[in-house]
Structure 1
Amino acid sequence: MDKAIWALWYDLPDDRTEHYLAWLHGDYLPRLKQRPGITWVAHYKNATSPAMLGSVHRRFSRPPAAETGSGTQYVLLTGAVDPLLFFAPSVLDEEAARTGLDREMLDLRIGPQSYLFNETYRVNGPELRLRVPGTTPGPAIQMGMLRMKSVEAQHAVGKWYANSRLPLIAGMPGAICARVYSCLCGWPEIAVLYEFESIEARAREFEPQETALAKGPPAGELHQLPMDALVHAPGSPMPAIRIWPPVEH
């Protein structure tokens, strides 16, 4: 029901953030959600912890910002039933053609990283019941976007997700789902979107896995790979909390 996503990461100027968010949540995103074929729209705010900044983010190589954009404060995700809906007509072209207040607000985005992805596979977690299929991702996510520097690295990473990371999510308390995407438009080769019932559950159950990985390649599929064989987009992997639609407590 929601095989494709448009992922947009970006920053905002401090003095216009409140005005922008009021327009985005109150006007623009409800309109975007009405577009034929769009299944959901979700807006998230970066919640990267100091522990991740000090370990995981220092471990991975990064591309030049000029190749990708540098925005990391917010993540706007748009789900669609089919990736062709992002091209015919193009959501990117439509947004570029906006005028008036829409244009003024869209131009506030700083360093946007804009990518189109198609889902290749997913695994459901123990808390899948918290989200109806085809609806907005969970209250908390982590999204990573990366490239591999060789065919050997691509194979090793694929085996690691299949044999280690995704089975871990399938049994992890607080995990809703994990989805692996191929990139159709933009710098990354793949993206991985993890969903959690809360940012606290992610920090408790998942973050220790990330910080342990940053200490060195684990035994198994990745143990022969140097960590610089994987190149992450700026800000990736990024934990984030959903700010629209509001999370119901």
Structure 2
Amino acid sequence: MGKTNNVYILKARRKRHIKRGIILTVIIAGVLALFVTKSDFFLIKNVNIKGNSIIKTEAILKDADSFKGENLLFIKENNVISKIKSNPYIDNVTIKRSLPKTLEIDVTEKNVAYYFKGKESFDILSSDLILLEKSNKIDDKNLIEITGLKKDDLNIGEYIASGDSFTILKTTLDELYKIQKSNKSKFKVTKVDVSSLTNMKVYFGDVMVKIGDGEDLVKKINTAISILEDKSINLKKGYIDVSFHGSPVIKKEKDKEK
């Protein structure tokens, strides 16, 4: 059919072209959808782990390997995150897809901060007081011992307690961990006694620091470290009381003669 200037004929032709275009698009989309869903081109073959320094990569891969063979484009991220976070040492998980066959898992680990001497083992705790594991020994010498802690038998991955008093304790000890991490001096916290939340005690080796409650904790710890660093005071054993407003009280104790 030759060219025409008939408006109705031109409109009819445009409609046919549009209809053909739509049909072609649907067919192409259907073929692509079939390829994506049925082809093994996007099936997960590789899983890469990064961000871990405490947990061995093999331990994370043991959980992640169950997702191999699933479609990379349609895998449910929440399922992956939930599976990886079943490890109590994992705090956060980010998932990325690297086409066509690689799943990237970026983890953030919990801060391993404290330990508690149990009857048969050492309970390893995070900075926010989640039980990470039970161990026969303490390999990390930088962990702070907690004493005076009342707790029931716990499952790994659980908080050591609950309630308003625990919230106060958790906030205080999380802050103490951050202070310890930023502390550049040679004097490090070795133990904390939390038997009374209004009369807590922090230990730097043989020196006890009475901090009272957790208020102004940074100021209290910095004051104690300044005293320990003061060579004119030369405090090796005894206590420092910074639990009140005013000048700290310092008490030296002599080593017992052998």
Q: Same fold by TM-score, threshold 0.5 exceeded?
A: no
Of structures 1 and 2, the one with the larger relative CO (CA 8 A, separation 6+) is 1
The TM-score with structure 1 as length reference comes to 0.25
Q: Select the structure that is richer in strand.
A: 1
Q: Which has the larger radius of gyration?
A: 2
